[in-house]
Amino acid sequence: MAKDKTIYTCQECGGTSPKWLGKCPHCNAWNTLEETRAEPVGPGKNRMQALARGLNAAQPVTTLADIEAADVARTPTGIDELDRVLGGGIVAGGVVLIGGDPGIGKSTLLLQALDGLSRQMKVLYVTGEESGAQVAMRAHRLGLDGSQVRVQAEIQLENILATLEVEQPAFCVIDSIQTLFSDQLSSAPGSVAQVRECAAHLTRTAKASGCTVVLVGHVTKEGALAGPRVLEHIVDTVLYFEGDTHSSFRLVRAIKNR
């Protein structure tokens, strides 16, 4: 059998190289290239690229002075300090990336925000790390009995996109982006290619539908968000959830907020 072709992918920027190098030629980071299997360009990938071209049709050129700039309406989540960090609340079509250590309380915080928003809009919680029963147990511990939050336990990107089209929520949480995978790629969930592709498709869906999407991300032992740095560039807001697990206080810090 023919040996699978491999390439070297930068874990910082997602750039590729045909051979290993000590320094990434794209972002100049040291010792970040890791060997991965090259993705074949098949019919499925061609269809995905054609869809992307259709979603990103050319827009007319407009003079800057003719563009009407209005304040963006924000919807409060019901959690005052989270709204403060977000600039007043969530924005329709916005994409938020929130990262933090395991067990810090990211899922708990977002479930509380979802419950508050469910009283005024349709919301969806997509969990890739827990079952629906585990989410229900957490909601019970938080006193959120009778919550109208819609829950889906799924990690396949295509199924999630289909659910978003059917449910048409105004607010959606993906917990977490590292667990998702697309059938169009053969690499494992959490790889640079999968994280980048899944985040890009979810971002395009958010902009096209007006649904606010929150992506939960893991962090490395250095405290930085795991995965390619391009993930931080394509989203609108980057939040870090920090604090001592033995303390009752937590800190939400905004690194980027458009």
C-alpha to C-alpha distances, 110 to 58, 139, 182, 241, nearest whole angstrom: 35, 11, 24, 11
108: exposed, middle or buried (Cβ count in 10 Å: 0-12, 13-18, 19+): middle
- The pTM assigned to this predicted structure is 0.80
Contact 237, 89 (CB under 8 A): no
Could you tell me the pLDDT band of residue 1, with boundaries at 50, 70 and 90?
Answer: very low
pLDDT of residue 54: 47
pLDDT at 143 over 70: yes
CATH superfamily assigned to domain 74-257: P-loop containing nucleotide triphosphate hydrolases (3.40.50.300)
Among residues of the chain, what percentage have pLDDT more than 90? 47
d(CA 246, CA 231): 30
pLDDT of residue 57: 59
d(CA 136, CA 202): 25
Tallying the residues shown for the chain, one arrives at: 258
Among residues of the chain, what percentage have pLDDT more than 70? 85
Query: For 133-144, what is the mean pLDDT?
Result: 93
Beta bridge partners of 100: 241
Lowest mean pLDDT among 28-37, 41-50, 118-127: 41-50
Lowest mean pLDDT among 8-22, 69-83, 151-165: 8-22
Which of 34-38, 59-63, 78-82 ranks highest by mean pLDDT?
78-82
**Every domain of the chain and the residues it spans:** 1-38, 74-257
Query: For 195-224, what is the mean pLDDT?
Result: 87
Could you tell me the pLDDT band of residue 188, with boundaries at 50, 70 and 90?
Answer: confident
Query: For 41-67, what is the mean pLDDT?
Result: 62
Burial 171-197 (b: 16+ CB within 10 A, else e): bbbbbbbbbbbbebbbbebbbbbbbbb
Contact 117, 123 (CB under 8 A): yes
pLDDT at 176 over 90: no
pLDDT at 162 over 90: yes
pLDDT of residue 254: 92
pLDDT at 191 over 90: no
